Each structure stands twice: as C-alpha cells, then as structure tokens.
C-alpha cells in the first residue's frame, strides 16, 4: 500500500468506501478488506453503518492503530452542539475513542465557516479526531475555510473519475497542501464497459475499474472505491503493480470533457466550472 502525506496525515492511497453497505454485508466487506491489506475505511454518520465498520475492524484481527478510519458530520449538524452530538454518536457507533480523519460531509450555506470549521477544529484539539478535513468544497469554499481554520484541513474529498473535470478544485486543494480523496472513483459502476478503459486495461492485463483507480493514484490522489464483492475488493488494491503510459493518461484525461457528475444532491454547492 502506498500513502499520501498531507499536513502530518499519512493516508493509505486506496481505502474502502462503505456507503450503501449495510449490516452483515458491511461487516464482512470491512473484515475481508482489512485481512487482504486495506488499511483505510471511509464511513459517515449518514451511511448508517459505523457500527458495522467497527465490528468489521474488530473481526479482522488487524490492530486498530494500523487502520486509518474516516467518518463525517452531515450538513444539518454543523452547529457546535449538534456537531458534538453527531461525532460522539459516531464514536459510540464505532466503539472507538477517536477517528483518524473527521470531515464536514457537505457545507451548510446557512452556517458560517467561523462556526462550522471551529467545531471541526475543536474535535481535533480534544483528541476525538487525529486529523480534520472537508468534503465537497469548491475553490472559494476552500479559501474561506482556510482563512478561519486553526488546524490544517488535510483533505478535500470530492467526486473524481475519468469522466469529470475537477482541475480547478484539485489545484486549489493542492495549493493548500491538502490531499485529494476521490469518491466515486469507478463512477459508481459506469467505468466497467467503457471502451477506452476496457481497451487500456486489456493492454495491461487489468480491468477497466483498475485503470480508473490507477489513473487517480498515478496523479497522487487517494481513491476509496466501494464494493462488497471479494474479487473486486482484491482487484481494487492491485493497482500499484502497473503504470499507465503518458499517452494512456492523456487519453483518460480527455474523457474529463464528458463532465458527468454522479453525486449532486439539493444541498450541493455551486460547483466550480471546468
Ligand atoms: N463525501 C461524499 O459526499 C461522498 C459521496 C459519494 C461517495 N462517497 C464515498 O466514496 C465511496 C465510493 O463511491 P461510490 O460507492 O459512490 O461509487 P464507486 O466506488 O465509484 O462505485 C461503486 C460501484 O462500482 C462497482 N465496483 C467496485 N469495484 C469494482 C471492480 N473492481 N470491478 C467492477 N465493478 C466494481 C461496485 O459494484 P460491486 O459491488 O458489484 O463490486 C459498485 O456498483 C462511497 O462508498 C463513500 O464511502 C463519499
């Protein structure tokens, strides 16, 4: 496993996304993933599976301190009292005293950053989060958040795959020294079957999904693909034993023009335009 370093956080470059994984399916996926070498779990209060992430962690036999665990606080819980309740419930669900990374899941435009970012920073100061960061922040939001934060924001978790252009927000995240964490790195299942990715994969003896993940990790981006299928779990960490050529990277980059955004809920911000 490779790592991405940002402001003192050492983030395993491929993690297990667990959104939609429920009950035993989630416990078994987390357990299997950790036993085959994953060291990074991505959950959220909103996913309703923190209990199962914690159970899978304990069932795996892998030491807690060897695993990087991320959870998130929703946009409707960003006032300090609600924020603290949400985080305490997350820790109780996970049966852990701290998480490695705590994110604001989505901004709430009605709550100033001076309030929400302060609540986030307080969780780092009191030890409930080793590191803090954000998700779904635009370039403007990143600058505004950095203007008030007292702790480094170590990552911006955003949608990234070959079919979306995120150049501006990636550049801005990097300008602030943040890691970029790619959610929907397989475009929520739209990568398998895509001609260019299948063809490039065939040239390397890899699947289209592995090409999509390689495209991201080769740019120094963290990816958190989600699957409960054992063969896919294994495939998704086998992306460090091949490299895409410059021409292949350029061909995949050209697909960014598709500009397909898979995740765009009503509370989403006004996204950066390509
Ligand atoms: N911060 C946010 O707002 C936010 C938003 C969305 C997601 N996320 C996080 O990002 C994670 C990943 O995103 P996602 O779950 O939306 O989408 P994703 O990981 O891009 O796609 C998941 C889909 O890809 C398939 N898949 C996975 N590995 C595969 C492989 N090797 N070969 C073929 N198909 C494969 C899965 O099917 P099988 O189950 O059949 O393998 C599943 O249908 C989430 O679980 C969550 O942790 C965060």
Pocket test for ligand 1, best of 15, 17, 179 (most atoms within 8 A of CB): 17
**Measured from the CB, is residue 190 less than 6 Å from ligand 1?**
no
Please give the Cα distance from 88 to 106 (Å, whole number). 19
Please give the Cα distance from 177 to 188 (Å, whole number). 28
Catalytic residue flag (residue 47): yes
Q: Let me know the angle formed at the C-alpha of 241 by 172 and 56, rounded to the nearest 5 degrees.
A: 75
Query: For atom 42 of ligand 1, which residue has the closest CA?
Result: 189
274 C-alpha to ligand 1 centroid (Å):
23
Ligand 1 atom nearest residue 213's Cα: 31
- The answer as to CATH 1.20.1090.10 being correct for domain 3-256 is no
Burial label for 11, CB within 10 Å (0-12, 13-18, 19+), is buried
Say how far residue 17 (Cα) sits from the centre of its chain.
7
- CB hemisphere CA count around 45 (13 angstroms): 23
201 C-alpha to ligand 1 centroid (Å):
19
The whole-number pLDDT of residue 7 equals 98
Ligand 1 atom nearest residue 225's Cα: 19
Secondary structure of residue 209 in the 3-state scheme: helix
Q: Let me know the angle formed at the C-alpha of 216 by 128 and 121, rounded to the nearest 5 degrees.
A: 20
Distance from first CA to last CA of the chain, Å, rounded?
32
Please give the Cα distance from 274 to 167 (Å, whole number). 7
From first to last of its 274 residues, what are the pLDDT tens digits of the chain? Answer: 899 999 999 999 999 999 999 999 999 999 999 999 999 999 999 999 999 999 999 999 999 999 999 999 999 999 999 999 999 999 999 999 999 999 999 999 999 999 999 999 999 999 999 999 999 999 999 999 999 999 999 999 999 999 999 999 999 999 999 999 999 999 999 999 999 999 999 999 999 999 999 999 999 999 999 999 999 999 999 999 999 999 999 999 999 999 999 999 999 999 999 9
The whole-number pLDDT of residue 1 equals 84
Burial label for 241, CB within 10 Å (0-12, 13-18, 19+), is exposed
CB–CB of 198/142 below 8 Å? no
Over its C-alpha atoms, the chain yields an Rg (Å, rounded) of 18
- DSSP string over 140-180: HHHHHHHHH-SS-EEEEEEE-STTS--HHHHHHHHHTTPEE
**Measured from the CB, is residue 140 less than 6 Å from ligand 1?**
no
Q: For residue 132, which phi and psi values (nearest 5 degrees)?
A: -130, 155
Phi-psi region of 177 (alpha: psi -120 to 50; beta: other; left: phi over 0): left
Query: For atom 43 of ligand 1, which residue has the closest CA?
Result: 189
């Amino acid at each position: 496993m490779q790592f991405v370093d940002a402001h003192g956080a050492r983030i395993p470059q491929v993690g297990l996304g667990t959104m939609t994984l429920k009950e035993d399916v989630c416990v078994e996926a987390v357990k299997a993933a950790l036993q085959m070498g994953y060291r990074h779990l991505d959950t959220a209060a909103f996913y309703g599976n923190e209990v199962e992430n914690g159970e899978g962690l304990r069932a795996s036999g892998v030491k807690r301190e060897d695993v990087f665990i991320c959870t998130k606080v929703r946009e409707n819980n960003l006032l300090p009292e609600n924020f603290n309740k949400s985080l305490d419930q997350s820790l109780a669900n996970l049966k852990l005293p701290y998480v490695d990374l705590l994110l604001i899941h989505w901004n709430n435009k009605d709550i100033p950053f001076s309030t929400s970012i302060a609540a986030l920073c307080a969780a780092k100061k009191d030890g409930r989060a080793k590191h803090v960061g954000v998700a779904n922040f635009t370039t403007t939001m990143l600058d505004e958040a950095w203007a008030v934060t007292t702790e480094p924001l170590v990552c911006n978790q955003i949608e990234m795959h070959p079919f979306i252009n995120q150049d501006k927000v990636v550049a801005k995240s990097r300008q602030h020294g943040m890691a970029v964490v790619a959610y929907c790195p397989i475009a929520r299942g739209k990568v398998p079957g895509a001609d260019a990715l299948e063809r490039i994969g065939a040239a390397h003896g890899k699947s289209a999904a592995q090409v999509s993940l390689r495209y991201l990790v080769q740019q120094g981006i963290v990816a958190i693909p989600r699957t409960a299928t054992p063969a896919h779990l294994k495939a998704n960490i086998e992306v460090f034993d091949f490299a895409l050529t410059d021409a292949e990277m350029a061909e995949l980059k050209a697909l960014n023009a598709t500009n397909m955004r898979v995740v765009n809920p009503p509370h989403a911000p006004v996204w950066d335009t390509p």
